Each structure stands twice: as C-alpha cells, then as structure tokens.
Structure 1
Amino acid sequence: MVQTRRSTAVAASIPLTLPHFHPESSKRRRTALADESDNGACETRTKTKDKPLTEDFPVRVSGSWKIGAHVSAAGGVENAVRNAAMVGANAFALFVKSQRKWDSAPLSAESVDAFKRRMQEFGYSPKHVLPHGSYLVNLGNPDGEKRQKSFNCFLDDLQRCEQLGLELYNFHPGSTVGQATKEESIALIAECINNAHKLTKYITIVIENMAGSGNVIGSQFSELKEIINHVENKTRVGVCLDTCHAFAAVRASFSVSQTFHRDFRDTTSRQKLDGISAFDTEVGLSYLKGLHLNDSKAALGGHLGISTFRHIVSDPRTQDIPLILETPTFEATEIWTKEISALNRLSLVDDSEVLETELSLVNEITSLVRSHAAKKTEKASRTEKASKTEGVSKTRTRKRNTTEDQDYDSDCA
C-alpha cells in the first residue's frame, strides 16, 4: 500500500509521504521469501504441529473489501494460513512451491490436510486466496523445449492449488524473448492455458498485467484481452491488476495505461478508479479476479500515494476479491498488520474524514517503516563489517601459515 513490493533494499532516505522501494524488474520481488515454499525443504524440516487457536491474533475486520498480503509459506503451505491471520488479513497470497526452482517435492498429505483444516478454522474462503506463480515460467517463449519446461512447472502449480482446494492462480504471462512477435507469443500463452484447463478440473488461471519493459507481454489491456480471446473456456480465466505495473506501464504506453495511471492518482474525481472503467471497457469487469496493491519506487509525475489506495478500498467494483499487499515488512509482521488495518479504516471512513485520516495513517506507517528500515541497515552494516574483519583475519592466517610452511620446507631441504 504505502510502500512497494517486498524488498530488502533500504532507501537512503524515506519521504514523509510514502516510503517507496519498488524495483521494476519482475524478478526483484519477495527476496526476503526466496525459496520459502520449497516443499522439498519442508519435508526435511521439523513438521509443524497445529497449535490451539489461543494465540493473540489481530481482530480481522468483517468488511466487503478482502485485504491481505503475500505471506510466507516457509515450513509448509499450511503455515501461510496462520501467517495471514497473524497480520489480520482477510485475503492472502502465497507460493505453493519454490518460486525459484523448476522442480519441488510433492505436497505431503499432511500439509494438504493441515492447510484445508486451517482455512476452515480461520474462516478463509478459497476465492480470497491468490497463489502466485513461479518467476521462471515463460509460456510465451517460442522455443518449444523451453516452453514445455515452463508449462510443466506451470501445470504443477495449478495441480497443487487444486490439491489445496484453491480456486485461483496468478501468473506473469511471459515474454517474446525477442524471438517472436507479441501476437505469436500471445497465441502460445493462450494455447498453454487451454492445455492446462484440459489437465485440471476447475482452477481459474489469472493473468497479471505487467510494467511494459522490453519484450514482456501484458502491459496493455488489449494484450490481456487478446490472450483471453484465444482461451476456449473463458469461465476459467481472469486478470489480476497490479497497481505499480499499471503505473510503470505509462513509460511504455500512453494509451489505456495513461488513463489508468492518471485516474488512480486523481483524488478529486467523482469517477473513482476510472482506470477500472477503462479495464471494464477493454477487457471486462467480470474478468477482474484480484489486485496487487503496490506503489512505485521511482516517481513518474509523483507516486500513487495513499489516496489511490483509499479509492481502491472504497470502490464497490473491488469488493469480494483478494486485494494483496506485496510490500516489504523488513521481517516485522507489525508493518503488514498496520497497513492492512489502515486500508480497512480507509474503506470505512466518510469523505469528510478522509484527508485527516490519510495524513494520520501515513505518519504512523512511515514512522514504523523508518524504524525497521534503520534497524535493517544497521544490522546489514554490522554483518558486512564483521565479514570484512573475518576476511582480513583469514588472509593474515593464510599468509602466516604460508610463511611457516616455507620455513619448514626450507629446514627440510
């Protein structure tokens, strides 16, 4: 919301209005959660036992907007449910396996059962869970062998989702890698979706809009629509709109994306979120299955700002779908707890209270993020200093040992 995607990088200074950390590369995200859902690793770890529901979980707001975050599934997918509850989320995203490996061990029956049980215990609906796909997958690659490898990974994710009883699966559509036209790659992506539908039962495949760099597909609503046009079963395909991607896409396009960007930031317009209207016109609101709530690192005529997100969580067209934060927590769950609480508060305030509430929330969250960012920087600095000291010590030891060896060899000669 008020930050950007999950990243361990800390800005030298954080603006008072909103802290921004969003890198533009699609692979930069969630570095703090790298390989967290590697189920191969999960099988060798101590198995997590269900604890009685007596822990101090934040009160979850019962509202029409289902707000949450991309939580860790480290130690087993079932832990994602508890982690979502720990930050007061009404929706959540997760990786159902390692996002950085082609192959992972199968989900254990124990993890699957625990996940489903916890979903019921904590009162989460499958339609408010938005799993995220592997960063390795490129269904638009014209190289048949490489595309098949991507498809196998993609299909495995989908089948895992169905094992867990989930209904949605979000992925990045892919790239031409400079070896095909966009039209050709779009057709290949749709073909993979059609094949995946035939090999799964009910999962809805959700395409994420992209920022528009290089050969990447999906920055234009028209590209998303073209993929959907090629999909045979349109009841099982949808779109997740990423606010930062839409904002960044302005650099690559000044058509629909510009409207989307401008109206996201228009705090005075009575036509709230007209970018959603543009999406409805070009793609269709029935295909909107979720949103990623992220601001941008780099300013482009400004940042999205907290007012943008207030519009999102007060627009009836974004009700009852997962609204997912992908912001950095600096390994402090209180940040997500605060951001989710803030968004819930913004969804409930009257227009007359908006400005005062927004300023208060910005100050609260900025202060919290500043504190944890500073701590992380200090910790990193200490680690780096210790590493350098250790390196010098080892170098001196190696030199001393070498000298001693030379002396010994000389004596033996």
Structure 2
Amino acid sequence: MKISNGIENVPKKTIDIGANTFQIFVKSPRTWGNPSITQESAEKFKKNMKKHNLSFDKVLVHSNYLINLASPKDDTWKNSINSMAEEIKAVQSLGITHYNIHCGSHLGKGEEYAVNRITEGLERVYDSLDLKLNICLENSSKKGNNYGFKIEHIGKLFENFKNSEKLKVVYDTCHGFDGNYDIRNDNDVEKLLELMSNSFGIENLRFIHLNDSKSPLNMGKDRHEKIGKGYIGKDGISNIINHSKLKNIPFILETPCDDEEHKEEIKLLKSWL
C-alpha cells in the first residue's frame, strides 16, 4: 500500500479493497534518506489501525531496496546498517512488530563471507537500538550473487546470529519458484515446509509474499506476475493458501497491480479458499 497520501490513511484504504493486512515502506524504497513520519501521523495511524480492527502483529514494513548487509563495500554496508536502524525506529513508532529485509548480495565473495557479513551487520543494528520488533529475513531470487535463495541459507543466519529470537522469515513464492521450490502439487509444499522446519523452525515463518511468476521454475529472474497468470498458476497458489499449516499466516500481494486490480485479486483468492 502507498503512503504518499498519508500513512494514517493506509488502514482504511486496506479495508476498502477487501484486505485485512498490508505491507508498506516507511520512505522511498530507492533512497538512503531517513523516514519523516511525524509523531502526529504515527498516532493517527495507530488510532486508525484499531478503528479498522487491523492487527499490528500481522502487517509488514519492507526495508528500502538499497540495504545490503552482505555487501563487501564498506560504504554500502555501513549505510545499510544506519538505514536499517533509522527505518526500524520509524516502524516502532507505528507500533508495527515485523520489518522485512532481503539478505543481500555478496558480490562474488561467497556464501561463508555473506553469512559472517550479514550476521555482523545484524548484530550492529541490534546493539544500536532498543529493538522491540522482529527482523524478517526474506528468501531471495536465485540471480547474481544473492544470498538467501536457499532455505538453508536463512537457517545459517539463525544459527549464527546470537539474538536469533528476534529473527523471523518471510517466504516469497515467486523467489522460491525461481530457486527451484515448486509448489504446484501437495507433496512439494510438504517438502518445502519440512525443509523450513529443519532449517529455522516453521513457527518462525510469519508472512508469505504471495506472487505468481512470469518465469518458469528455477530460472532466477525475479519477475512477479499477477495471481493465476504465471507459471505457478492456480494450482500452486491454491496449494499455499489452503494448506492447514499456513492458514493463520498473513499473505501479502506484491503483484504488478494497482489498488483496484488488487481488489479483484483478493476476490479471486477468496474464491479459491
């Protein structure tokens, strides 16, 4: 949901399109600049969340796209830590309890380097704040030198980060499909959930980015498609939204749609339940 017309208006706009959860940025996702949410706007936002019966624990804030805790470039890495800290302060002022980041790209330095670099970055963020929310690690698309396209990658970060109780997971269906995690039949979904259980604990899966894919399985293109229009299709999406272990998890649409199109997608998804 866009915040350009006032972050305090997001709860009502969410209800208006038939949704009961949402994802926002707290600033432009393509700049390092700090959020500029006033205390007045934050208080109005919290009031409207309660008015429209939306749960602070089941909405999500996505970090800006420049953050890369795996980067070997010191300026990018330090900017990422500082930017995360400033965004988290803004998220906490809104009362939202989950903040989503991509694991990042190691730019060819390797997976072991990425684990250590990300872990140190997370620890610096943690030490700089009174952290009251959960940092959600999102699985990435398998392209370039991204870290996090394997479920086991995320498990490694849980193992290494000393404050792992503050880590949770967001699973993106398009990114997963890019990384060879098929969900078009029930057995594949069961295998995926079992892998999550073994890697980081299924109880730590808190959100799903529900996206179809413009690219076939295992292509690593990261091209989101409208629900039912891509290679995951109705069968794959239906398997996820109807799985008994996922029925209480919020699903966030990141499909290439405006609000009215999302309204139609939500109707479609509810008809598949």
Q: Calculate the TM-score normalised by the size of structure 1.
A: 0.60
Residue 273 of structure 1 deviates from its aligned partner by: 4.2
Q: Does the Cα contact within 8 Å between 1:206 and 1:238 map onto a contact in 2?
A: yes
Residue 345 of structure 1 deviates from its aligned partner by: 2.8
CA distance in 2, matches of 1:156, 1:239: 21
Q: Does the Cα contact within 8 Å between 1:296 and 1:304 map onto a contact in 2?
A: yes
Residue 270 of structure 1 deviates from its aligned partner by: 6.4
Q: Deviations over 1:199-252 (max 9, x none)?
A: 1331100000011111111001111111111111222101111000011112xx
For residues 161-310 of structure 1, the aligned pairs below 5 Å read: 161-178=91-108, 180-198=109-127, 199-250=129-180, 260-261=181-182, 264-266=183-185, 269=186, 272-300=189-217, 303-310=231-238
Q: Deviations over 1:337-392 (max 9, x none)?
A: 12112222322xxxxxxxxxxxxxxxxxxxxxxxxxxxxxxxxxxxxxxxxxxxxx
Q: Does the Cα contact within 8 Å between 2:81 and 2:124 map onto a contact in 1?
A: no
1:96 aligns with 2:5: no
CA distance in 1, matches of 2:255, 2:120: 33
Q: Which amino acid aligns with 2:68?
A: N
Q: Does the Cα contact within 8 Å between 1:78 and 1:118 map onto a contact in 2?
A: yes
Change in Cα spacing, 1:84 to 1:318, as seen in structure 2 (3 Å) is same
Q: Calculate the TM-score normalised by the size of structure 2.
A: 0.90
Larger radius of gyration: 1
Q: Give the match for residue 322 of structure 1.
A: 250
Change in Cα spacing, 1:78 to 1:226, as seen in structure 2 (3 Å) is same
Measured on the aligned residues, the alpha-carbon RMSD in Å equals 1.8
For residues 18-37 of structure 1, the aligned pairs below 5 Å read: none
**What 5-or-longer segments of structure 1 have no aligned partner?**
1-70, 251-259, 348-413
Share of identical aligned residues, percent? 30
Q: Give the match for residue 313 of structure 1.
A: 241
| Structure with the bigger percentage of strand | 2
Task: State how many pairs are aligned.
Answer: 261
Q: Give the match for residue 262 of structure 2.
A: 336
Q: Give the match for residue 84 of structure 2.
A: 154
2:213 match: secondary structure: coil
CA distance in 1, matches of 2:112, 2:70: 10
CA distance in 2, matches of 1:105, 1:298: 34
CA distance in 2, matches of 1:106, 1:145: 23
Q: Does the Cα contact within 8 Å between 1:291 and 1:324 map onto a contact in 2?
A: yes
**What 5-or-longer segments of structure 2 have no aligned partner?**
219-229
Residue 309 of structure 1 deviates from its aligned partner by: 1.5
2:270 match: secondary structure: helix
